[in-house]
Amino acid sequence: MPLISDLEKGQSIGHRTIELSRADLIRYAAASGDHNPIHWNDRFATEVGLDGVIAHGMLTMGVSVELVTHWAGDPAKVVDYQTRFTKPVPVPEPEQGPPDIPTARLEISGKVGKLDAEAKTARIDLTVNLASGDEPSKVLTKSQAVVVLD
């Protein structure tokens, strides 16, 4: 578990890659109760103006903060988490094979954005990009978690 006295602004807390499949979206829909067809039905998604099926925003947000909870050593240390959704995360059907083959990849990194020694908190700023094509694109902005540390 990190100590506030060992941290400095701008310090990296790490990086992780998350891959998502259509099967992940179905499992998340079952767990969350969000069965909106834009998350599993290409025909419906295109009829409402999307390019295809997209991941749930809260799924994207949740897998992103895991970097912080792992670094902090305890999810209860995260006392605030906020973000803005910038772009949807498309999860296309695999070209071949079953729907559990990942077709979307998120690249997540975090750094210390602010320290408050008196409150013993660190604000962790996350960068969350969809890794596709030549240029990664931000899917979340102003993604910040406040962590209580010793």
Task: Tell how far CA 39 is from the center of its chain.
Answer: 16
Question: Can you tell me the distance from the alpha carbon of 56 to that of 62, in angstroms, rounded to the nearest whole number?
Answer: 10
Q: What is the pTM of this model?
A: 0.93
The residue-averaged pLDDT of 80-102 equals 95
String of b and e for 64-73 (b: at least 16 CB within 10 Å)? bbebbbebbe
Domains of the chain: 4-19+57-148 (3.10.129.10)
pLDDT tens for 5-63 read 999 999 999 999 999 999 999 999 999 999 999 999 999 999 999 999 999 999 999 99
- List the one residue out of 8, 13, 14, 38 whose CA is nearest residue 25: 38
The helix or strand, by DSSP H or E, that contains position 143, with its residue range, turns out to be: strand 137-148
